[in-house]
Homo-oligomer: A and B are copies of this chain.
Amino acid sequence: MCGIVGVSDGDSTQVYAGLYALQHRGQDSAGILSYNGNFHLKKNKGHVWESFTKDSLKELSGRKSIGQVRYPTIGTDFERDAQPFFIESPEKMGIVHNGNLANYSELRKEYTLSSWCDVEVLLHMLSKHLKITKDPFISVEETMKEANGAYSALTLLKDGSMIVFRDPNALRPLVHGEGMYASESIALDIIGKKLEGDIKGGECVLINDNHVERKQLIKEQPRYCMFEFVYFSRPDSVLQGKSIYEVRLELGKELAKKFDKTADVVIPVPDTSRAAAFGFSIESGIPYREGIIKNRYVGRTFIMPDQSTRENAVKFKLNTIKSEINGKRVVLVDDSVVRGTTCKNLVNLIRNAGAKEVHFAISCPPIRWPCFYGIDMTQKSELFAANVKDAEKTLAEKIGADSVIYQSIDGLKNAIGLKTLCTACLNGDYPTDVSTLLARQGNGKRPYEGE
A29 at the interface (CB under 8 A from B): no
A296 to B323, CA, bound (A): 26
Which residues 320-366 of A have a CB within 8 angstroms of B? 320-324
Does A382 sit at the interface, judged by CB under 8 A? no
Find chain B residues with CB under 8 A from A116 CB: 88
> A87-B113, A191-B305, A245-B321 are known contacts; what are 9 more A-B pairs with Cβ within 8 Å?
A14-B309, A21-B295, A89-B111, A90-B109, A191-B315, A235-B321, A236-B319, A271-B296, A274-B290
What 3 pairs across the A-B complex have the smallest Cβ distances? Answer: A13-B305, A243-B323, A236-B293
How many copies of this chain?
4
Chain B minimum-CB-distance residue to A292: B236
| A319 with B190: CB separation less than 8 A | yes
Q: Which residues from B are CB-within-8-Å of A20?
A: 295, 297, 302, 316
Interface residue ranges of A288-315 to B (CB < 8 Å): 288, 290, 293, 295-297, 299-306, 309, 312, 315
Q: In the complex, A189 Cα to B278 Cα: how many Å?
A: 27
CB neighbors of B among A157-190 (8 A): 186, 189-190
Contact B192 A53 (CB under 8 A): no
Docked-complex contact A190 and B315, CB < 8 angstroms: yes
**Residues from 95 to 144 in A contacting B, C-beta threshold 8 Å:** 108-109, 111-116, 124, 127
Q: Is B47 a contact of A309 with CB atoms below 8 Å?
A: no
Are B323 and A246 neighbours in the complex by a CB distance under 8 Å?
A: yes
Range class of the A interface residue count: 35 or more
Q: Which of B11, B57, B236 meets A321, CB within 8 Å?
A: B236
Across-interface contacts of A14 in B (CB, < 8 A)? 305, 309
Q: Are B192 and A315 in contact (CB under 8 A)?
A: yes
Interface residues of A in 236-270 (CB under 8 A from B): 236, 238, 243, 245-246
Chain B CB within 8 A of A205 CB? no
Chain B residues with Cβ under 8 A from A53's Cβ? 303
Q: Given B17, B235, B290, B296, which contacts A275 in the complex, CB threshold below 8 Å?
A: B290
In the assembled complex, the Cα of A88 lies from the Cα of B23 at a distance in Å of 29
Contact of A293 among B49, B109, B234, B303 (CB under 8 A): B234
In the complex, whether A384 has a CB less than 8 A from a CB of chain B is: no
Q: Is the CB of A301 within 8 A of B88?
A: no
Chain B residue at minimal CB-CB distance from A246:
B323
Is A54 at the interface (CB under 8 A from chain B)? yes
Cβ distance A354 to chain B, nearest Cβ, rounded Å: 13
B192 pairs with A312, CB closer than 8 A: yes
Distance (whole angstroms) from the CB of A9 to the closest CB of chain B: 14
**Chain B CB within 8 A of A227 CB:** no
CB distance from A325 to the nearest CB of B (A): 11
Known contacts: A290-B274, A297-B47, A305-B16. The answer to whether A315 contacts B112 by CB under 8 A is no
